Chain A
Amino acid sequence: MSRELNLTLKVWRQDGPDAPGRFDTIAAPGINDEMSFLEMLDLVNERLIAEGQEAIVFDHDCREGICGTCSLMIDGQAHGPQKGTATCQLHMRKFDDGAEVTIEPWRATAFPVIKDLMVDRSAFDRIVEAGGFITAETGGAPDANMTPIPKPVADSAMDAAACIGCGACVAACPNSAAQLFTSAKVGHLNLLPQGQAERYQRVEAMVDTMEELFGSCTNHGECEEACPKEISIDFIALMNKDYLAAKFKNRKLLSRK
């Protein structure tokens, strides 16, 4: 059933944030196609260590497509060729024997390379810190069934909340914009009744922080295409609408002070 693949990897190696990078060509023979892409890299790393060379640094953790730690541009596509799939769940059966596979880190100014294929995505955390929460300190919550939420609303909020914060949307965007990530968090919270009190402050603070750190959106739609959770760009439209409204509403709130 399973095949063996002989691959040639072109891997981006970079010794540190300020070091110049390069592509290393690494042969990867005898790859069982039942393996996941990251298991293939594990094996390549074991072989590199056996040769006395330094292993390729890459971010990964849960290997179930949920933690959002893994990344990688594979042949120019964020998370590789399989739609709606994070790199950790991509399997080698999607590759042909003899293929040359190019592996790069996320490329974005807001995501500086730390080493090899590992980048710093903490700019995403800055956006969430700016307003990606509902202020509900521990202790004072009312009964969970006090506010019924229509199922379609809860479902839409969940669609947005499914974002894993991997950064593929930014990496795929020609402008390195973070609209899809930001709108997913804004959409999740702004759709829910619990999120209404801070709705307009939230969207303004998050979008303004995003604009400071990332590029601008010009509606390419590459983000949705690359998203391993297939989050819809409709959330960007919702965010834009709320952002526009916020510019008026928040000014009114200011004038009442």
Chain B
Amino acid sequence: MTINLDAKIPDGPIDEKWTNYKFEHKLVNPANRRKYEVIVVGTGLAGGAAAATLGEQGYRVKAFTFHDSPRRAHSIAAQGGINAAKNYKGDGDSIWRLFYDTVKGGDFRSREANVYRLAEESVNIIDQMTAQGVPFAREYGGLLDNRSFGGAQVSRTFYARGQTGQQLLLGAYQQLARQIGLGNVELHNRTELVDIVVVDGRAAGIVVRDLVTGEVTSHSAHAVVLATGGYSNVFFLSTNAMACNVTAAWRAHRRGAAFANPCYTQIHPTCIPQSDDFQSKLTLMSESLRNDGRIWVPKDPDDNRSPDQIPEDQRDYYLERRYPSFGNLAPRDIASRAALVEVSKGHGVGPLKNGVYLDFGEAIGRLGQKVIEERYGNLFEMYERITDESPYKVPMRIYPAPHYTMGGLWVDYELMTTVPGLYCAGEANFSDHGANRLGASALMQGLADGYFVLPATISNYLAPLLGTKPVPTDHPEFQAAEAAARDRFAGYLSIGGTRSPDSFHMELGKIMLEHCGMERTKQSLEKALSEIPGLHAEFRKDLRVTGDGESTNQTLEKAGRVDDFFELAQVMCLDALTREESCGGHFRAEHQTDEGEAERDDENFAHVAAWEWTGDPAQPARHVESLEFDNVHLAVRSYK
């Protein structure tokens, strides 16, 4: 299969491209929409919003989630907020500024046209979600409140206490529930995608496994949308939910969808440090805490006094020192790496010396405990539940953890992958965040894709298919994919080795975190690439899955996901190895300035790297989409 990386960016000035596109693309008449079937996989912000909107428009939609209910998707865990260029604070915000901040925040590795459209749609999202009843925080006069977030010098972040993701997801879920109740959307819960079927070069449908009965079945449609989230769990320990995985995107990749920029992963600066070896997940503390919390470490690495005993002049507020104008609100990649630097120099705090302080003492003194409680009460409670320490009394301890993946399936301006008829939305695609995502931008992108972009672009593909029927599921391609899936799961059960899927996952995660984490070198990446295939081979030989395949078997589910992580891990390392520059979340130690900042190479790497599956996970083919910057001047990203 040949890979065509034509992004199909519309003509015209950047602020007219989306409007022009919407006028020029093909539409499907409302009365004809019921003749089309669309499959949406994933019911988070992007998938839930897309399924609901397509249902409202009149398409026949089948929505799939591996959760028990669409409301469980991991979008729900986003805490801090959602950006929108409303300029309600009158502090100089605009669509243009949000666009610029996002391109700059992404270290000039995203597509201008996509980001501009995202900034344009951001304002509609807030309107839409408010109309649906999302209880955003309000001022006493009844108008919407905003706060500021990393990487921006304006207040443009809308929030609902510390649970913005929950409220937005419930908003999308309610719209989806309405469509399910009306019969426009057919929901398949506890159903996991195990393969994509391509017939005559077009996406024809999916093969799924019922997680309750183990039954493997096929579903066909005119178009398939994947909104299946990111792949941070390749690191084993991450802030992602336990079930988050790459399988849907990876199965699509194996069927011809290019995987773009897999090495762009975000390590979130404010997570609770690991407390013991058995830990299976790390908990994020919202970035919004950096609005009032000050980050510091003791100047003396051997200072073991409790934090309140360390006088001001013996503390190093290293972010404020290194980045005076953004200070504690420096973007995530920068804040994370700075923490890594301090901890590796031995300045880490806590019993395992694996954290830095995030201190609210000064803010409590200035604003009073009540204000801080109102802003962050639930986050402080959560912290105390986990660590048994009260942040009102002692500073929080935080450390970076894998959190978000900017890379994902390559999509064009219409969010279509390199497989015609196969779309990808939300975190699962690679499109808008470049090499680093700014805080409060993931919710924005998921909802923009799901509510406004995909429902507008999909008709351009569907319109010419009027009168055609989806490929029947007894087509040989479906039958073959079903048989392969059954064999795959039966295979895991029959290995009869000695090690659980989790034990392999943990080992893979350690390799990835150490060699392809916050800091990468040629040597470390080559080491990872030499170790992963061996571990994968051992997985195939020595895996032990107990139980059977005819009822709920979480060990078996996990085995399939870990199997795919092994293949993804290799292309991540290859991508990191071939990108001989540092940009955003991708920091190659060989490419840094004298001051230790990331050093981009715009001449050779101002492009998207999209990988094509060749059948051998160690030898994928690299393709390139060059990035043109007509509106933003490529500059060294400075937050000093």
A132, B275: Cα distance in complex, Å? 40
Question: CB-CB < 8 A to A118: which residues of B?
Answer: 552
- Determine if A105 is an interface residue (Cβ-Cβ < 8 Å): no
On whether the beta carbons of B385 and A133 are closer than 8 Å, the reply is no
A137 closest partner in B (C-beta): B56
On whether the beta carbons of B131 and A141 are closer than 8 Å, the reply is yes
B139 closest partner in A (C-beta): A151
On whether the beta carbons of A138 and B452 are closer than 8 Å, the reply is yes
On whether the beta carbons of B278 and A67 are closer than 8 Å, the reply is no
Q: Smallest CB–CB gap between A81 and chain B, Å?
A: 13
Question: Can you list, as one digit per residue, whether each of B399-415 has a CB less than 8 Å from chain A (1) or not (0)?
Answer: 00000000000000000
Q: Which of B71, B138, B500 has the most CB of A within 10 A?
A: B138
On whether the beta carbons of A151 and B281 are closer than 8 Å, the reply is no
In the complex, chain A residues 65-94 whose Cβ is within 8 Å of any chain B Cβ:
65-69, 82, 84-85, 89, 91, 93
Question: CB-CB < 8 A to A141: which residues of B?
Answer: 124, 127-128, 130-131
On whether the beta carbons of B142 and A63 are closer than 8 Å, the reply is no
On whether the beta carbons of A115 and B385 are closer than 8 Å, the reply is no
- Stretch in B160-168, B435-443, B469-477, B526-534 touching the partner: B160-168
Question: Can you list, as one digit per residue, whether each of A188-220 has a CB less than 8 Å from chain B (1) or not (0)?
Answer: 110010110000000000000000000000000
A36, B382: Cα distance in complex, Å? 13
- Determine if B606 is an interface residue (Cβ-Cβ < 8 Å): no
On whether the beta carbons of A138 and B56 are closer than 8 Å, the reply is yes
A185, B472: Cα distance in complex, Å? 40
On whether the beta carbons of A122 and B68 are closer than 8 Å, the reply is yes
Q: Smallest CB–CB gap between B163 and chain A, Å?
A: 6
Q: Smallest CB–CB gap between B62 and chain A, Å?
A: 16
A189, B547: Cα distance in complex, Å? 44
Question: CB-CB < 8 A to A60: which residues of B?
Answer: 242
- Stretch in A48-56, A95-103, A236-244, A245-253 touching the partner: A48-56
Choose from B88, B132, B135 the contact partner of A154 (Cβ within 8 Å): B135
Known interface pairs A67-B72, A89-B385, A115-B552. Does A143 touch B135 (Cβ–Cβ under 8 Å)?
no
Contact count band on A: 35 or more
Q: Smallest CB–CB gap between B144 and chain A, Å?
A: 6
Question: CB-CB < 8 A to A162: which residues of B?
Answer: 161, 163, 166
Known interface pairs A65-B382, A134-B174, A143-B127. Does A55 touch B547 (Cβ–Cβ under 8 Å)?
yes
A93 closest partner in B (C-beta): B388
A2, B388: Cα distance in complex, Å? 11
Known interface pairs A32-B278, A138-B53. Does A89 touch B382 (Cβ–Cβ under 8 Å)?
yes
On whether the beta carbons of A46 and B503 are closer than 8 Å, the reply is yes
On whether the beta carbons of A134 and B276 are closer than 8 Å, the reply is no
A34 closest partner in B (C-beta): B275
Question: CB-CB < 8 A to B241: which residues of A?
Answer: 61-63, 67
Question: Can you list, as one digit per residue, whether each of B225-247 has a CB less than 8 Å from chain A (1) or not (0)?
Answer: 00000000000000001110000
On whether the beta carbons of B136 and A2 are closer than 8 Å, the reply is no
B162 closest partner in A (C-beta): A66
Choose from A46, A67, A68, A144 the contact partner of B500 (Cβ within 8 Å): A46
Question: Can you list, as one digit per residue, whether each of A132-162 has a CB less than 8 Å from chain B (1) or not (0)?
Answer: 1111111111111101111100110110011
Known interface pairs A64-B382, A133-B175. Does A144 touch B278 (Cβ–Cβ under 8 Å)?
no
Q: Smallest CB–CB gap between B81 and chain A, Å?
A: 14
- Stretch in B34-42, B176-184, B307-315, B597-605 touching the partner: B176-184
A46 closest partner in B (C-beta): B500
Q: Smallest CB–CB gap between B497 and chain A, Å?
A: 11
- Determine if B143 is an interface residue (Cβ-Cβ < 8 Å): yes
In the complex, chain A residues 1-58 whose Cβ is within 8 Å of any chain B Cβ:
1-2, 15-16, 32, 34-36, 38-39, 42-43, 45-46, 48-50, 52-55, 57
- Determine if B26 is an interface residue (Cβ-Cβ < 8 Å): no
Choose from A46, A134, A145 the contact partner of B144 (Cβ within 8 Å): A145
A89 closest partner in B (C-beta): B385
- Determine if B133 is an interface residue (Cβ-Cβ < 8 Å): yes
A202, B181: Cα distance in complex, Å? 13
On whether the beta carbons of A144 and B86 are closer than 8 Å, the reply is yes
A135, B49: Cα distance in complex, Å? 14
- Determine if B635 is an interface residue (Cβ-Cβ < 8 Å): no
A104, B210: Cα distance in complex, Å? 24
Q: List 18 A-B contacts (CB under 8 A).
A: A35-B276, A42-B280, A48-B546, A49-B546, A49-B555, A50-B498, A66-B77, A82-B385, A89-B385, A133-B178, A136-B133, A137-B53, A142-B127, A143-B127, A145-B88, A145-B144, A154-B138, A188-B135
What 12 additional pairs, Cβ within 8 angstroms, besides A143-B127, A151-B140? A35-B279, A42-B280, A49-B555, A61-B241, A67-B74, A67-B77, A84-B381, A125-B70, A137-B53, A137-B175, A188-B133, A194-B130
- A residues at B contact (CB < 8 Å): 1-2, 15-16, 32, 34-36, 38-39, 42-43, 45-46, 48-50, 52-55, 57, 59-69, 82, 84-85, 89, 91, 93, 114-115, 118, 120-122, 124-125, 128-130, 132-145, 147-151, 154-155, 157-158, 161-162, 164-165, 188-189, 192, 194-195
What are the nearest 7 A-B pairs in CB distance? A148-B142, A129-B181, A133-B174, A141-B131, A144-B130, A136-B131, A141-B127
